[in-house]
Amino acid sequence: MKRNMLKEKTFGAKTTRPPPAMSLSETTWVLIGTCVTLILVSFLSSSIPWFKPSTSSGNSTSYAFPLGPLGALATLQFSLTAAPASQPRNVIYGTFIAGSIGICFSYIPTTILPHWLRLALGTSSAITIMAKLGVTHPPGGALATIYCSGGYHWGHLVMSLIGCWVCISVAVIVNNLNERRQYPMYWSFRLW
């Protein structure tokens, strides 16, 4: 009995089908939206001289805040516009909660908590708290992992939140220019 249930859950019901592919016109909007978003946040992050390590020649070697989670956010905002994880409430609260937990865990010395365990515990704590508060945001989980690794501080979190607001702004404008798309589905920022 349990074996059949596990098999069905693991391999999916035979009647369930994956979602259909997007039309060419929809994917064009995805391309435009993600490209504009990532150009803006990449430029913003590369233009900010604070928080960036430099080489001996003075050239910047990185961005002011991690861009990976913002690429994931752009995927959500333009490919899954109705998903709860892509809504502004989840974006802002999820980023703030996960980033804060990641930075706090990064302050734990590796003599007390090994690096690999700090990454696992910090990220899983952030994901659990986001889920409990109803603001699950997958890019926030990625941000927690990045921040748990160390070398980041509260200024980076502020910059990540600014990057999220830039992404939200572009998603609102670009998605709503198309009559078949809507973003966001709601603006509510209430937690309870």
Helix runs in the chain, H state only: 2-11, 24-47, 68-79, 88-106, 115-133, 138-148, 154-177
The predicted-structure confidence for 112-151, as pLDDT tens digits, reads as follows: 999 999 999 999 999 999 999 999 999 999 999 999 998 8
DSSP helix, strand, coil percent of the chain (3-state; round to 5): 65, 0, 35
**49 band by pLDDT with thresholds 50, 70 and 90:** confident
Residue 94 token pair: 């999820």
CB count within 10 Å of CB 94 equals 30
Contacts of residue 33, defined as CB under 8 A and 6 or more positions apart, other chains included, come to: 74, 77, 78, 170, 171, 174, 175
Contacts of residue 170, defined as CB under 8 A and 6 or more positions apart, other chains included, come to: 33, 36, 37, 40
The angle at the Cα of 58, spanning 54 to 59, to the nearest 5 degrees, equals: 70
The predicted-structure confidence for 144-174, as pLDDT tens digits, reads as follows: 999 999 888 999 999 999 999 999 999 999 9
Q: Name the most confidently modeled range: 2-11, 100-109, 152-161.
A: 100-109
Residue 184 token pair: 């966001």
Q: What value does the mean pLDDT take over residues 21-38? A: 95
55 pLDDT exceeds 50? no
